[in-house]
Amino acid sequence: MTERIKSLLDRTFAKEQKKFRRDVDWKPLLDKFIAEGVDDETRARMGLEAMLAAEEPAFMEGETIHFLRTVKQIPDLHSDAEMDARRAAGTAFGEKGVVFNLTADFGPTIAVGLDARLDEIAARLAKAEAEGDAEGVNFLRNADLSVRAVLGLADRYGIEHVPHKGARTLHEALQFLRILHYAMWCEGEYHCGLGRIDQYLFPYYDADIKSGRLTDEAALEELEEFFIACNRDSDLYIGVQQGDNGQSVMLGGVTRDGKNAFNDLSRLCMKACGELKLVDPKINLRVDKTTPLEVYEAGTELTKEGLGFPQYANDDVVIPALQKWGYELEDARDYSVAACWEFLIPGVGMDINNIDAVSFVGSLDAAMRGASAAASYEDVEKAFFGEIQRRADALVKKYAHVEILPGPFVSVISTGCVARARDICKGAKYNNFGIHGTGIAVAVDSLAALKDVVFEKRLVTLSELVKLLDTDFAGRPDVLSAAEAAPKMGNADPRADEIAKRLIAFWGHAFDGKRNDRGGIFRPGTGSAMYYIWHARDVPASPSGRLRGQPLSANYAPSLDVPVKGPISVVRSFTEPDLGPVCNGGPLTIEIHDSAFAMPDGVTKVAQLVKFFVERGGHQMQINTINRETLVDAQKHPDLHRHLIVRVWGWSGYFVELDKEYQDQIIKRVELCA
Amino acid sequence: MTGRVFEIREFTLHDGPGVRTTVFLKGCPLRCAWCHNPEGQSFEKETMVRKDGRRVPCGEDWSPEALAEELLKNADIMASSGGGVTFSGGEPLSQSDFVLAVAALLKPKVGVAIETSGYAPGDVYERVISQMDFVYQDLKHHDADAFRKWCGGELGVVLDNIARLRRSGVRHSLRVPLIPGVNDSEADRGAFAALAGGSPVEYLPYNPAAGAKYPMLGRKYEL
Ligand code: SF4
């Protein structure tokens, strides 16, 4: 890392950027919108114009890639009352209603420049006017003004060549990308991904290297400056938690024509992240069965830093899965993540990948109550699947008509909107909705336990068990113990894994033949987002032995309170089901203590574990290296960290089972290592 | 024939090359004051009581065939990563016939290694290490009196076996668990290096959490 980068990094950590910030009260703008009945498209453009006009060029000493947020608030374009009224009138929205969880198609605009895009808009506008296409005219006029607003701020910054013209160098391309990405946030979009930067920035990098303009070290420095910039304003971005801002990049994989896409720039991006150790951008890495171990090792070097990435996606599973869902092969090969982990094709996808979720634990609870006279385990499972289907159908109805609020600028930098003369909110090439499935492991463990306790050991009847769930097994510790001892998903135990296979096979087809009114399909997934917390609140205890109030595991992972043999068995269990039909996204999440990396070959071993997951047909995986902060949290909330294994010395143990003094010692030790 | 095992741990990272599973065999002839696996000392089955009051049975009898089958469930990743199984304990040499029987079933498919105190008769020692791909041999002390005091055994037994190990040509490494005030002075280091006679030596830093499992057995960690 150069001195300049180190200094920029230090000052970003010290929050020097905050001194440029100020508050702006946007209420008068909103009042004006309401009083004048301004349409959505125009509001979006005027909001962006007002935001960018209020922004003041600000410069951090030593930086060469500019654009910094100075205004803290982004204008509200609609009042709560307006939105409520629309909802009351039968319109569904995804979250806040605006475009979100989206990766735009940055590459083509970076290549040609915004002036050329203005020409394109002007030509299309003339056509729309000639055709009397009022909606098209309104969109294109607003798109034109939005682009001009972005150019205006770039001019005030005094930035030359880009973004008016196409980028000629990696540096210009990064500056251009910074401007486009920043403008999306200012337009009100959130969870804005960065996509396949190692692909669309590669031509500039390659030209720079070949012409001798840049060395690899200089290219690394430019990337690092860009990555630091991604961390400056991120506290102003909306998310459930700090850091939940969707600034993801996707590296590697294959090109649109199927060739290996992992290149020198992919490698350099990983190196930059490893040196900076920042939370943004979050690295996703596409791999397949031909990926050499050294690529996994390079990824694991990042895992070792405790950053929680890279997150791996398996092309061998994801590409065919997307094809089965109707994505064209070339598009499927171009997949990235929307922002967190839902698969999306940048530019052509206006998918809402996380529109809702089905609670498997809730479904099972309802099914048991409805089928308490069930004569066999098979009857219970059938009732459970029936309940899932009922809930899936209800969601299809609920989201039959979804509106998205417009974003003229993001439309310009997405594929085909200008040509269609329609805002991206009206739909893109792909308009699918993703539905999470939460609590997979708890549901599977519960089925395995009730099969064992009710139908095999016959300790209780099903209706007695249901009553026990309401009282946290009060008076029947024997039933609780038996439930806890029953087979669990994550131990490579076929008695649990066979149930998981059937559940996932059912879930993967629960939306077959269903469409939304944009012509899109519903994509089931194994993710949970925050639903795993919410859905845990809706149910009493579970037959698996999970007590009331205990959370579900997040995403695709073993239940929190069950001991598992280890990560190999976890990988084995969780790759038993066919994951193609549930490829909306949702990673297997494994936690490894950072003492795993104390030995020189620790990186290789963890890399081999990931490779094993991929070779067994896993879809997506994330490994967390547990660090001191997690340990401290584990002390306070042991239930959330049951799987946290620490190497104590010659033996490994579950951290939460150690006495406090030992826990403290380990925390101290981790601190010393850090 | 059965063997008594108190833990099978998957994906151990400190017990040899590649992806490994470590099998902990129950029972040990020594009583090291710093022993971090107290449940590995007794040859009898025991019950550990966890902090939350739950009772965990400790010690399970396996036939060589059943244990090998369980371990070989992960043969694919062990083999592809150049890993295998490591026998530890307790003292695996105290159940040498069992260890040899399991190793014989494993060896066509995966690597085998052992972690041992070396506290066993010479013929037993030689028979077992000759079947191993790698040996982690403990070197707990260099002084016979201190070894008797802290570990409850005769150092000569271990040193003779270390000599056998070197003669055998089996790949190995000597591991010195550093215990503050017991064997961690400069002078101690010199003595260990002299004893090692050119074999690779790893010094393992003392971990104060070594006594964590004693309360679960109703015992007190004396060090
Ligand atoms: S030799 Fe190992 S298992 Fe036996 S008492 Fe000593 S430290 Fe414990």
DSSP codes joined into one string, A330-377: HHHTT-EESSSS-EE-TTTB--EEEEEEEEHHHHHHHHHHHTTT-SSH
Whole-angstrom Cα distance, residue A657 to residue B52? 8
Under DSSP, is residue A282 helix (H, G, I), strand (E, B) or coil?
strand
Q: How confident is the model at residue A114 (pLDDT cuts 50, 70, 90)?
A: very high
**The two structure tokens encoding residue A440:** 């997979």
Averaged over B191-196, what is the pLDDT? Answer: 93
pLDDT tens-digit series, residues A209-218: 999 999 999 9
Phi, psi of A4 (to 5 degrees): -65, -45
What per-residue confidence (pLDDT) applies to A240?
45
Q: B210, A649: Cβ pair inside 8 Å?
A: yes
How many other β-carbons are positioned within 10 Å of the β-carbon of residue B52?
A: 8
Residue A504 falls inside a structural domain:
yes
Per-chain mean pLDDT for chain A: 91
A605 → closest Cβ in B9, B19, B212: B19
Residue A406 falls inside a structural domain:
yes
Angle (nearest 5°) at CA A608 between A577 and B80: 90
In a mutational test of the A interface, the residue from B77, B173, B175, B213 whose CB has the highest number of chain A CBs within 10 Å is B77
Q: Which amino acid appears at position A183 of this protein?
A: A
The distance from CA A252 to its chain's CA centroid, rounded to whole angstroms, is 17
Q: Check if B31 has its Cβ closer than 6 Å to any atom of ligand 1.
A: yes
Residue A427 falls inside a structural domain:
yes
How many other β-carbons are positioned within 10 Å of the β-carbon of residue A415?
A: 20
Pairing status of strand B20-25 against strand B46-49: unpaired
* Strand partners of residue A658: none
On whether the CB atoms of residues A33 and A43 are closer than 8 A, the answer is yes
Using CB atoms within 10 A of its CB, is residue A27 exposed (0-12), middle (13-18) or buried (19+)? exposed
A242: pLDDT strictly greater than 50: no
What per-residue confidence (pLDDT) applies to A674?
25
Averaged over A408-434, what is the pLDDT? Answer: 95
Q: Check if B48 has its Cβ closer than 6 Å to any atom of ligand 1.
A: no
Whole-angstrom Cα distance, residue A482 to residue A520? 45
On whether the CB atoms of residues A90 and A325 are closer than 8 A, the answer is no
**The two structure tokens encoding residue A423:** 């805002």
Lowest mean pLDDT among A269-278, A464-473, A639-648: A639-648
A665 → closest Cβ in B37, B83, B208: B208
| CATH number of the domain where residue B102 is located | 3.20.20.70
List the residue whose alpha carbon is closest to atom 3 of ligand 1. B90
Whole-angstrom Cα distance, residue A219 to residue A461? 67
Q: B77, A601: Cβ pair inside 8 Å?
A: no
What per-residue confidence (pLDDT) applies to B222?
83
pTM given for the model: 0.90
Residue A297 falls inside a structural domain:
no
A336: pLDDT strictly greater than 90: yes
- Judging contacts by C-beta atoms under 8 Å, the chain B residues touching residue A565 are 8, 10
On whether the CB atoms of residues B84 and B114 are closer than 8 A, the answer is no
pLDDT tens-digit series, residues A605-662: 999 999 999 999 999 998 877 777 778 888 888 877 776 766 544 344 567 777 777 7
What per-residue confidence (pLDDT) applies to B63?
98
User: Could you tell me how many residues make up chain B?
Assistant: 223
- Output DSSP code: residue A562: S
On whether the CB atoms of residues A100 and A189 are closer than 8 A, the answer is yes
Under DSSP, is residue A275 helix (H, G, I), strand (E, B) or coil?
helix
Q: How far is the CA of A115 from the centre of ligand 1 (A)?
A: 76
Lowest mean pLDDT among A97-111, A143-157, A240-254, B156-170: A240-254
On whether the CB atoms of residues A356 and A395 are closer than 8 A, the answer is yes
Q: How far is the CA of B37 from the centre of ligand 1 (A)?
A: 7
Q: How far does A228 lie from chain B, in Å, by closest CA?
A: 34
pLDDT tens-digit series, residues B110-132: 999 999 999 999 999 999 999 99
Q: How many structural domains does chain A have? A: 1
- Which of B37, B136, B147, B178 is the pocket-test mutation for ligand 1 (most atoms within 8 Å of CB)? B37
B51 → closest Cβ in A492, A659, A666: A659
**CA dist A159 → A172, A227, A422 (Å):** 10, 19, 30
Q: Check if B40 has its Cβ closer than 6 Å to any atom of ligand 1.
A: yes
A235: pLDDT strictly greater than 80: no
Q: How confident is the model at residue A164 (pLDDT cuts 50, 70, 90)?
A: very high
Residue A231 falls inside a structural domain:
no
Q: How far is the CA of A1 from the centre of ligand 1 (A)?
A: 47
B77 → closest Cβ in A608, A650, A657: A608
- Judging contacts by C-beta atoms under 8 Å, the chain A residues touching residue B50 are 657
B212 → closest Cβ in A565, A604, A659: A659
Whole-angstrom Cα distance, residue A283 to residue A460? 49
The distance from CA A448 to its chain's CA centroid, rounded to whole angstroms, is 31
Under DSSP, is residue B4 helix (H, G, I), strand (E, B) or coil?
strand
**CA dist B3 → A348, B8, B61, B63 (Å):** 61, 13, 5, 6
The ipTM value here is 0.88
Q: Check if B25 has its Cβ closer than 6 Å to any atom of ligand 1.
A: no
In a mutational test of the B interface, the residue from A491, A547, A605, A661 whose CB has the highest number of chain B CBs within 10 Å is A605
- Nearest in space to A564 (alpha carbons), one of A476, A496, A518: A496
Q: Check if B103 has its Cβ closer than 6 Å to any atom of ligand 1.
A: no
Under DSSP, is residue A172 helix (H, G, I), strand (E, B) or coil?
helix
Residue A475 falls inside a structural domain:
yes
Residue A249 falls inside a structural domain:
no
A430: alpha, beta or left? (left if phi > 0; alpha if psi -120 to 50): beta
- CB proximity list for A242: less than 8 A, separation 6 or greater: A235
pLDDT tens-digit series, residues A374-407: 889 999 999 999 999 999 999 999 998 889 999 9
Whole-angstrom Cα distance, residue A544 to residue A561? 10
- Output DSSP code: residue A452: I
Q: Check if B42 has its Cβ closer than 6 Å to any atom of ligand 1.
A: no
**CA dist A332 → A451, A608, B89, B155 (Å):** 40, 27, 51, 66
Residue A185 falls inside a structural domain:
no
**CA dist A170 → A167, A209, A213, A218, A588 (Å):** 8, 10, 10, 10, 35
Under DSSP, is residue A126 helix (H, G, I), strand (E, B) or coil?
helix
B206: pLDDT strictly greater than 80: yes
* Residue-range definition of the domain harbouring residue B93: 3-215
Q: How many structural domains does chain B have? A: 1
Sheet arrangement for strand A352-359: A352-359, A433-438, A522-524
* Residue-range definition of the domain harbouring residue A401: 353-585
A57: pLDDT strictly greater than 80: yes
How many other β-carbons are positioned within 10 Å of the β-carbon of residue A460?
A: 20
What per-residue confidence (pLDDT) applies to A236?
79
Q: A566, B9: Cβ pair inside 8 Å?
A: yes
On whether the CB atoms of residues A100 and A191 are closer than 8 A, the answer is yes
- Nearest in space to A292 (alpha carbons), one of A619, A611, A601, A568: A611
Q: How confident is the model at residue A448 (pLDDT cuts 50, 70, 90)?
A: very high
Q: How far is the CA of A149 from the centre of ligand 1 (A)?
A: 73
